[in-house]
Chain A
Amino acid sequence: KAGVTQTPRYLIKTRGQQVTLSCSPISGHRSVSWYQQTPGQGLQFLFEYFSETQRNKGNFPGRFSGRQFSNSRSEMNVSTLELGDSALYLCASSLAEGLAGRNEQFFGPGTRLTVL
């Protein structure tokens, strides 16, 4: 079974631009979560989607948004990019929504975003 795939793997943008990252979950998985990983702040939860609805959101500004499609694929968008948005963005999928202890999250390799 194929794992979680994220595209693109690497991305370079300039300040003020916007960017869209894509995540395809493991086949059959319906929940997708997004995390931002930076050297300074570590791994931080962005949001979670299930059945095309945002179920949970971390403490990030409104410039960060996401959506999920009927096939469970998800995209996240960052508008008006800032230098501090440079990070590895990780997507994780799980079978269902609900408690992390009952639904193992499988992580993709991430998209490395560099903002110049």
Chain B
Amino acid sequence: AQSVTQLGSHVSVSEGALVLLRCNYSSSVPPYLFWYVQYPNQGLQLLLKYTSAATLVKGINGFEAEFKKSETSFHLTKPSAHMSDAAEYFCAVSDHQAGTALIFGKGTTLSVSS
């Protein structure tokens, strides 16, 4: 069965610092991978997705993620954190048999201090 592990339930950075949110997946075949962001009292918004076209994926709001098959990782990064980036971030995976069903990690809460 597919699974996703997000290392660190809470990450704190200073404004302007590098953001690194970690995600590892388990899959027997190359999966589709996603990062979503959730702001308080809101639904999920897609930041970016990997669908095997390119290993470095650029998303919205300056975020990007790199697919590393050898490490089964899909870490999310942003060079310079902004206060508005404070939110909860979810990594998700889907397999080719499961239609639209997404399997989510437990989430990482990002705090940004001034």
Contacts and interface: CB of A to CB of B under 8 A. Distances in A.
A43 B90 contact: yes
Nearest to A93: B100
A48 B44 contact: no
B96 A99 contact: yes
B101 A58 contact: yes
B100 A103 contact: yes
A18 B103 CA distance: 27
B43 A48 contact: no
B99 A100 contact: yes
A90 B41 CA distance: 11
A110 B96 CA distance: 27
B70 interface: no
Interface string B21-36: 0000000000010101
Contacts of A33: 100-101
18 contacts: A33-B100, A33-B101, A35-B102, A42-B106, A43-B104, A45-B102, A45-B103, A48-B101, A58-B101, A90-B43, A92-B44, A99-B32, A100-B100, A100-B101, A101-B49, A105-B102, A108-B43, A110-B42
Interface of A: 4, 31, 33, 35, 42-45, 48, 55-56, 58, 90, 92, 94, 97-110
